[in-house]
């Protein structure tokens, strides 16, 4: 099966993850997809294919010469930020640089997404504008599986042992929760989970998740004077005390942010959900302290216990674990250049399974998968970018 057909098959599986289920994988569609992938890996000739009860797949391409054991990893789930059910992809042939009408009233506009103009003249996979596409990260899976199939069909190519791993629930920060680094048995690995062609990343955000619960008092509004405490108004007051410009829509590069991702409330109870991000560990810790400070400030004004905070770290910047083994970054750069791709080394404004795995002893930088506008109905995937990612995997293995 060619890489495009493989990808189009993969996106037919609904694998949206859901942090509310407290299950692994968090949704049944991920296990359905995992079973399909395990069968496919066996059918192309991969060995030692395993699928555990949590939906983690591992498989081996035996080496035919001496060398380090290298791994390639991608995740099976898609983001809960947009629907991944009934994805209807189509291929825009020889893209002409104009706006793309995905469906009636839903247009992928070049004015809003000018990056697409880089792919003029290429075939591009888009959605019908009602779901995300799933290139994050089914493109990565398609690239890995297709590369492994090619190596199996060409035994004359000399390479060491290669391991592949596919994980559930990366999009909800749980992709590495049950990943057995020891069983994977690699000297180092790469996640195929980046964006545009050429991206190579070994720095990512430090990340935390925070919930603030605000408790109010509800009485009849006609007799509320000095009695009612509207938890929604108090929560709003807390939210606007955070720096206005330190949000995702106002930051780039190495700039961190506070991101309000959920607000649910009544007069009596309101919950604010935040994610906290910063590349610098000291600033990251300062951001967490600032939220704790604002909660204390609210409690001083409205009474102890009015606001409560719960916070947990999700992952840390992998840079400190990659710097001692920078040869694996040099290897990826050389592989890209060998297949005609200019490496674009940049920090990840997010995280990957590789960040946590790096802290568990498996150095694991991130390589582009080729898609753009992830987590969005405007997501698209230039086919040549996906093919180049496959070629980079092959070149790394050869080198």
Q: Are residues 287 and 342 in the same domain?
A: no
Q: Kindly report, residue by residue over 204-246, the tens digit of the pLDDT.
A: 999 999 999 999 999 999 999 999 999 999 999 999 999 999 9
156 lies in the same domain as 180: yes
Residue 87 and residue 13 in contact, taking contact as beta carbons nearer than 8 Å: no
Residues 192 and 333 in one domain: yes
Q: What is the CATH number of the domain that holds 284?
A: 3.30.70.360
Judgement on whether residues 285 and 326 belong to the same structural domain of the protein = no
- Give the distance from CA 86 to its chain's centroid: 21
Q: Do 134 and 75 form a contact (C-beta atoms < 8 A)?
A: no
Catalytic residue ranges: 77, 170
Domain check: are 251 and 168 in the same one?
no
Boundary residue ending a domain (294, 315, 336)? 315
The verdict on 178 and 307 lying in the same domain is no
353, pLDDT greater than 90: no
pLDDT tens digits along 4-62: 999 999 999 999 999 899 999 999 999 999 999 999 999 999 999 999 999 999 999 99
* Average pLDDT rounded to a whole number, residues 245-254: 96
Domain boundary among 282, 315, 348: 315
pLDDT over 90 at 188, yes or no? yes
Residues 45, 126, single domain; the answer is yes
Is pTM beyond 0.85? Reply is yes
Please indicate, yes or no, whether residues 265 and 294 belong to a single structural domain of this protein: yes
Last residue of a domain, one of 287, 315, 343: 315
- Does residue 331 carry a pLDDT above 90? yes
- Cα gap 93→91, rounded to integer Å: 6
**Do 311 and 321 reside in the same domain of the chain?**
no
118: CATH: 3.40.630.10
- The pLDDT of residue 143: 98
Alpha helices in the chain (DSSP H): 3-10, 28-44, 135-153, 181-184, 231-240, 281-302, 319-322, 327-338, 353-359, 383-398
Terminal Cα distance for the chain, rounded: 25
Give the residue numbers spanning the domain of 11: 3-203+317-398
Pair 198, 59 in one domain: yes
How many domains does the chain fold into?
Answer: 2
* 366-368 and 307-315 beta bridge pairing: unpaired
């Amino acid at each position: 099966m060619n890489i495009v057909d493989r990808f189009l098959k993969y996106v037919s599986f609904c694998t949206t993850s859901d942090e509310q289920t407290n299950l692994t994988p968090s949704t049944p569609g991920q296990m359905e997809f995992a079973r399909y992938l395990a069968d496919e890996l066996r059918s192309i000739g991969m060995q030692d294919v395993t699928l555990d009860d949590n939906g983690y797949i591992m498989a081996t391409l035996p080496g035919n010469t001496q060398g380090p054991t290298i791994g390639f990893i991608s995740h099976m789930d898609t983001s809960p930020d947009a629907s991944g059910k009934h994805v209807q992809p189509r291929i825009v042939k020889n893209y002409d640089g104009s706006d793309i009408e995905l469906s009636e009233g839903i247009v992928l506009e070049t004015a809003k997404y000018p990056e697409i103009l880089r792919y003029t003249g290429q075939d591009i996979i888009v959605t019908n504008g009602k779901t995300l596409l799933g290139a994050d990260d089914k493109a990565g899976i398609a690239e890995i599986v297709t590369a492994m199939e090619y190596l199996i069909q060409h035994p004359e190519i000399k390479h060491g042992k290669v391991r592949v791993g596919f994980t559930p629930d990366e999009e909800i920060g749980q992709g590495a929760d049950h990943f057995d680094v020891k069983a994977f048995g690699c000297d180092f690995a790469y996640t195929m989970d980046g964006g545009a062609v050429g991206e190579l990343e070994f720095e990512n955000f430090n990340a935390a998740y925070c919930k603030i619960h605000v408790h109010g008092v509800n009485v009849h509004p006609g007799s509320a004077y000095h009695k009612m405490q509207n938890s929604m108004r108090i929560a709003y007051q807390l939210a606007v005390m955070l720096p206005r410009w330190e949000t995702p829509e106002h930051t780039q590069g190495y700039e961190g942010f506070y991101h309000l991702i959920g607000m649910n409330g009544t007069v009596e109870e309101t919950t604010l959900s935040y994610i906290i991000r910063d590349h610098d560990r000291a600033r990251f810790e300062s951001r967490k302290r600032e939220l704790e400070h604002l909660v204390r400030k609210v409690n001083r004004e409205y009474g102890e216990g009015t606001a409560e905070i719960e916070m947990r770290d999700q992952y840390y910047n992998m840079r400190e674990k990659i710097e001692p083994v920078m040869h694996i970054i040099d290897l990826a750069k050389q592989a890209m250049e060998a297949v005609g791709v200019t490496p674009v080394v940049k920090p990840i404004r997010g995280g990957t399974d590789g960040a946590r795995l790096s802290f568990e002893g498996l150095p694991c930088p991130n390589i582009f998968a080729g898609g753009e506008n992830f987590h969005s109905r405007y997501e698209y995937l230039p086919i040549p970018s996906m093919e180049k990612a496959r070629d980079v995997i092959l070149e790394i293995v050869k080198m």
